[in-house]
Amino acid sequence: MAKTVFVTGATSGIGEAAARAFAEEGDNIIITGRRAVRLKELKKQLEAEFCVEVAVLMFDVRDRKQCFAALESLPEALREIDILVNNAGLALGLEHIDEGDVNDWDTMIDTNIKGLLYITRCVARGMIERGCGHIINIGSIAGTQCYENGAVYSATKHAVHALSQGMRIDFLAHGIKVTEIRPGMVETEFSQVRFHGDRSRAHGVYNGLTPLTGDDVADAILWVTSLPEHVNIDEIVITPKQQANAYYTCRK
C-alpha cells in the first residue's frame, strides 16, 4: 500500500534523492523547498517516471507561519503523512567564532533547529491521532563531534541529535518511530552553500577522496523505513570509507 512521504529541502542533494527513492517504491510524495522551478521539475519527473502523486509546497522552514499555512494547504488525500524526512538544513561560513558572520549564525539556527521543530510539530499531531508514523531527522557527524571553524553549525546539529532523542521519548507511547541519520562527507550543494557559491572552494573539500552521494544517504533512509513495525533504528552514522570521523580523512 502506498505511503505518503513528506520531504523537506527536496530541491537538491539528500532531499531530492530521498523523494526519488520513495517515489520509485510507489509512495506519494510531498516535497518542499524555496526554489519553485526545481520543485516543479522534480514533481514532473517523479509523476512521469513512477506514476505517483506529488505535491509541491514552496515555503521557508524558518518562517513559522509559512510552515503551518503550507501544511494546511495540503489536499485532503495527502494529509495523512506516514513518513517525515526532516532534511532541510545548511552550513554557512567556516570561520572561528570571533570572525563568524552573525547573519550566517541566525540562518543556520533558524533553519536547522527551529525549522525542524516547526515541521515536526505540524506533522506529528496527525501521526499521534493515528497512532503510527516515522520521523527521520537528517543530522550530521558534527552532531556529536565538533571541528575547528564549525562551532555554530556543529551546535545546531548537536541540537538535532538531542531533539531526535527527545522525540523518541516523547512519541514512545504514540507508536511513532524516530530515526536520526548522521552522514559524514556528502557531495551535494552543501559546501557550495557553505562557501556562498564559491564552486572552486567547495569542490576542494572532497579532493583526494570519494565522498558519499545523496543516493547513498537515501538508501539508508529507505532501509530504516522498510523494517518490520516493531523495529526502530534509533540512529545511523554513515561516512565515506576514507573518512573515520569529523577530524580524520585519508586522501589520495
Rounded distance between C-alpha atoms, residue 241 and residue 239, angstroms = 6
Residue at grid coordinates 569529523: 246
Active site residue 153: yes
Catalytic residue among 153, 206, 247, 248: 153
**Which residues are catalytically annotated?**
153
